[in-house]
């Protein structure tokens, strides 16, 4: 296990894009964790006499219409975005990997039926599916994690299945089958180690889309509930006053864009270092 | 070749049928009794019962499903629970408005991104490539509502060229909507183009490194001819699928952008019908989107067949 970790670390170090990308993401994680130490304001409490101030010495990014410090809300906003995205991406990639490997290993009827159902799920626009699920089950963070998984598992499954299909005909898999090993041990010991690169790239890439989707959902008013500090929600709230305090709208935009650029750089760098065709996998 | 087309069409129909079942089941799972929702909490039990009968909610689910599919095939999606109007006509009106945005978006995004992607691929690792690749990375990394907000800031606040919001209802004429189309279309086109640029760049680089391009060069053909006659047809092939997927993505993408601009299109209708639990409208939009998705994929597969003779003779699968 430790050799695998060292090898991964070397790959990351060898790619400048991946290093920069992961560094940006790491900064976002640290800032979100240390938010209470970095600011003395509370993210959800405002002073209405100080509403819509421009950037100044007390409020570096100005205040919103309720007099809340925008920078504080941006710092805390990373917690919701990163927490929900990380949970959603983990669940999505884990489910997709298991389904994709199972489809590739079993083949035949199960494979056909699974792919057909996933195709049908893909044909419904993801925003509509998300809206229906969130309306049905409420907009708690766990519901959003679940909804994202429903929407994105089909695509992950397809990618992983494609990668696993290249491994399944290999002699060592046939040998494992001949030894009479079950589907789980084969999956864990023979198939998974050989598609780790694809799964890792898929994880980074999927994470960038999940962050975008979650922020869009919040922007539309179906994600984080006010007064939760969340970037998508903040853009929606501060958009109306964008001519008065442009910084209040721009700050969450910058935070969101840098996080996603970081994730995209990491995905690009890793895919290049491992030779995974990311752009084609993404289609 | 015909067996290939036939097989592809049959599997597209199968996918559609399956998605119609999924859509129906998902919408049924929305909580709350529709009849009470429509009539309000103070409705008398007899009124609720009468409405349930009118909406045939008292019948088993599979009967309602077959009724719905039968109607949908004939363009009859039932009546909206909110406005009481026929869903088919209402959705059609909004869809027409969205089509205006989609048309402009696809036109600009596809032509623009193909040109940029090809230029980036031909000038690999030189400054035009660096510029275009960085721009597309940024384009991929910002959500549509951010692009839309920035565009409003630039082109309707700083430079008042385009309207920031649409003040017309769904019945507006094309002439009334036309000035409001450009900013939403530009927001969608920027996000959409980013993906197509990357795909076009990669496939151009792949093809330019291939042996037949080297042969064409050695034959002494001009580089313009090498690119247009030999490289582009093969380079376009993988790009086709990305374009098809993006066109299908548009129908979801418009939901966000149309809400930013208050544009009376299908995305706005989608959001308000989810808020109002207008089940027939949600079902109709989901089914229409599924049809668009399946048709786009079918078109991409058939287009790939037209561009690649190998797929025609083998009669096998595209992959």
- B155 alpha carbon, distance to own chain's centre: 25
Residue B33 lies in a domain: no
Residue B50 lies in a domain: no
Which string of b and e fits B165-201 if b means at least 16 CB within 10 Å? ebeeebebeeeebeebbbbbbbbbbbbbbbbbbbbbb
Residue B228 lies in a domain: yes
Question: Considering only CB atoms, which chain B residues are within 8 Å of A117?
Answer: 18
Does residue A52 contact residue A61 with C-beta atoms inside 8 Å?
Answer: no
Mean pLDDT of A74-92: 91
Which has more pLDDT, B319 or B208? B208
pLDDT tier at A283, thresholds 50, 70, 90? very low
Report CA-CA distances (Å) from A243 to A57, A78, A103, A247.
Answer: 21, 25, 53, 9
**Could B15 and A268 be called an inter-chain contact, meaning their C-beta atoms sit closer than 8 Å?**
no
**Could B15 and A120 be called an inter-chain contact, meaning their C-beta atoms sit closer than 8 Å?**
yes
Q: Provide the pLDDT for residue B38.
A: 67
A1 CA: distance to closest CA in chain B (Å): 33
Find residues 260-289 of chain B whose CB sits inside 8 Å of chain A: 270-271, 274-275, 277, 282, 285-286, 289
- Where do the domains of chain A lie, and which CATH numbers do they carry? 3-36+80-281 (1.10.3720.10)
Which has more pLDDT, A65 or A16? A16
**Could A136 and B289 be called an inter-chain contact, meaning their C-beta atoms sit closer than 8 Å?**
no
**Could A219 and B241 be called an inter-chain contact, meaning their C-beta atoms sit closer than 8 Å?**
no
Residue B97 lies in a domain: yes
Residue B220 lies in a domain: yes
Question: Considering only CB atoms, which chain B residues are within 8 Å of A268?
Answer: 137
Residue B26 lies in a domain: no
Domain total in chain B = 1
For B266, which residue in chain A has the nearest alpha carbon? Answer: A128
Q: Is the confidence at residue B84, as pLDDT, over 80?
A: no
What is the distance between the alpha carbons of residues B152 and B160, in angstroms, rounded to a whole number? 9
What is the distance between the alpha carbons of residues A226 and A88, in angstroms, rounded to a whole number? 21
pLDDT digits (tens, 9 = 90+) for A116-153: 888 888 888 888 888 888 888 877 889 999 999 998 99
Residue showing tokens 């599979």: B62
- The encoded tokens of residue A181 equal 């090993």
Task: Count CB neighbours of B122 within 10 A.
Answer: 17
Does residue B207 contact residue B234 with C-beta atoms inside 8 Å?
Answer: yes
Residue B31 lies in a domain: no
- Domain of B101 in residue numbering reads as 93-307
To the nearest whole number, what is the mean pLDDT of chain A?
83
Chain A touched by B197 (CB under 8 Å): no
- Could you say which of B14, B146, B241 has the minimum Cβ distance to residue A235? B146
What is the distance between the alpha carbons of residues A138 and B127, in angstroms, rounded to a whole number? 49
Region of poorest pLDDT, from A61-70, A134-143, A188-197, B84-93: A61-70
pLDDT tier at A277, thresholds 50, 70, 90? low
Among A219-228, A259-268, B85-94, B156-165, the range with the most confident prediction by mean pLDDT is: A259-268
Q: Is the confidence at residue A282, as pLDDT, over 60?
A: no
pLDDT digits (tens, 9 = 90+) for B217-267: 888 888 888 888 888 877 787 778 788 878 877 877 788 888 888 888 888
**Could A127 and B252 be called an inter-chain contact, meaning their C-beta atoms sit closer than 8 Å?**
yes
Q: Is the confidence at residue B31, as pLDDT, over 90?
A: no
- ipTM, 2 decimals? 0.80
Report CA-CA distances (Å) from A25 to A71, A89, B270.
Answer: 18, 15, 34
- Could you say which of A135, A236, A243 has the minimum Cβ distance to residue B157? A243
CATH number for the domain spanning B139: value is: 1.10.3720.10
> Testing the interface with B: which of A120, A159, A213, A258 to mutate, by most B Cβ within 10 A?
A120
pTM above 0.95, yes or no: no
Does residue B105 contact residue B185 with C-beta atoms inside 8 Å?
Answer: yes
- The end-to-end CA distance of chain A, in Å, is 32
**Could A124 and B289 be called an inter-chain contact, meaning their C-beta atoms sit closer than 8 Å?**
yes
Query: B79 phi and psi, to 5 degrees?
Result: -110, 145
Mean pLDDT of B291-319: 72
Query: A81 phi and psi, to 5 degrees?
Result: -60, -50
Chain B touched by A136 (CB under 8 Å): yes
Q: Is the confidence at residue B317, as pLDDT, over 50?
A: no
Find residues 66-105 of chain B whose CB sits inside 8 Å of chain A: none
- Could you say which of B19, B145, B256 has the minimum Cβ distance to residue A123? B19
Residue B72 lies in a domain: no
Mean pLDDT of B197-211: 86
Among A243-247, B97-101, B227-231, the range with the most confident prediction by mean pLDDT is: B97-101
Chain B touched by A254 (CB under 8 Å): no
pLDDT digits (tens, 9 = 90+) for A193-203: 888 888 888 88
């Amino acid at each position: 296990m430790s050799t695998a970790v060292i090898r991964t670390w070397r790959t990351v170090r060898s790619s400048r894009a991946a290093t920069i990308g992961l560094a940006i993401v790491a900064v976002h994680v640290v800032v979100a964790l240390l938010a209470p130490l970095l600011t003395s304001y509370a993210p959800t409490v405002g002073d209405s006499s100080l509403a819509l101030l421009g950037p100044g010495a007390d409020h570096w990014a100005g205040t919103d219409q309720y007099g809340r410090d925008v920078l504080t809300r941006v710092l805390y906003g990373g917690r919701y975005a990163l927490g929900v995205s990380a949970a959603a991406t983990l669940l999505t990639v884990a489910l997709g990997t298991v389904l994709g490997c199972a489809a590739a290993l079993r083949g035949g009827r199960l494979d056909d039926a699974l792919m057909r159902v996933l195709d049908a799920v893909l044909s419904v626009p993801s925003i509509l599916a998300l809206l229906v699920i969130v309306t049905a089950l409420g907009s708690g963070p766990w519901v959003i994690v679940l909804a994202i998984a429903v929407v994105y598992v089909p695509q992950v499954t397809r990618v992983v299945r494609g990668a696993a299909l290249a491994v399944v005909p290999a002699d060592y898999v046939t040998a494992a089958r001949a030894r009479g090993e079950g589907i789980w041990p084969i999956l864990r010991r023979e198939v998974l180690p050989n598609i780790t690169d694809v799964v890792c790239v898929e994880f980074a890439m999927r994470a960038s889309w999940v962050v975008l989707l979650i922020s869009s959902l919040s922007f539309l008013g179906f994600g984080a509930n006010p007064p939760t500090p969340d970037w998508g929600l903040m853009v929606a709230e501060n958009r109306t006053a964008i001519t008065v305090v442009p910084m209040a709208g721009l700050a969450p935009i910058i935070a969101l864009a840098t996080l996603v650029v970081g994730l995209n750089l990491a995905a690009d760098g890793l895919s290049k270092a491992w030779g995974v065709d990311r752009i084609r996998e993404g289609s | 070749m015909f067996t290939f087309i036939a097989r592809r069409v049959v599997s597209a129909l199968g996918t559609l049928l399956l998605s119609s079942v999924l859509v129906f089941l998902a919408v049924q799972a929305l909580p709350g009794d529709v009849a009470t929702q429509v009539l309000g909490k103070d409705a008398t039990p007899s009124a609720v019962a009468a409405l349930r009968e009118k909406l045939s909610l008292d019948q088993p689910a599979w009967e309602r499903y077959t009724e719905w599919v039968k109607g949908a095939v004939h363009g009859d999606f039932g009546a909206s629970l909110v406005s009481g109007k026929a869903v088919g006509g209402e959705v059609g009106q909004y869809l027409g408005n969205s089509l205006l945005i989609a048309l402009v978006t696809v036109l600009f995004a596809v032509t623009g991104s193909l040109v940029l992607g090809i230029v980036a691929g031909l000038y690999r690792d030189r400054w035009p490539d660096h510029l275009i690749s960085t721009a597309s990375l940024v384009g991929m990394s910002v959500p549509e509502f951010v692009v839309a907000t920035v565009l409003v800031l630039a082109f309707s606040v700083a430079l008042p060229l385009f309207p920031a919001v649409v003040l017309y209802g769904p019945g507006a004429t094309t002439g009334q909507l036309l000035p409001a189309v450009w900013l939403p279309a530009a927001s969608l086109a920027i996000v959409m183009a980013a993906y197509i640029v990357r795909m076009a760049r990669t496939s151009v680089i792949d093809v330019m490194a291939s042996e037949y391009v080297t042969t064409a060069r050695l034959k002494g053909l001009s580089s313009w001819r090498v690119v247009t006659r030999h490289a582009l047809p093969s380079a376009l092939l993988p790009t086709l699928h990305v374009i098809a997927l993006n066109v299908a993505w548009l129908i979801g993408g418009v939901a966000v952008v149309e809400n930013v601009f208050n544009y009376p299109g299908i995305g706005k209708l989608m959001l308000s019908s989810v808020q109002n639990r207008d089940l027939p409208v949600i079902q109709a939009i989901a089914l229409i989107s599924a049809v668009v998705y399946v048709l786009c994929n079918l078109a991409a597969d058939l287009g790939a067949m037209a561009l690649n003779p190998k797929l025609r003779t083998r009669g096998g699968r595209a992959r």
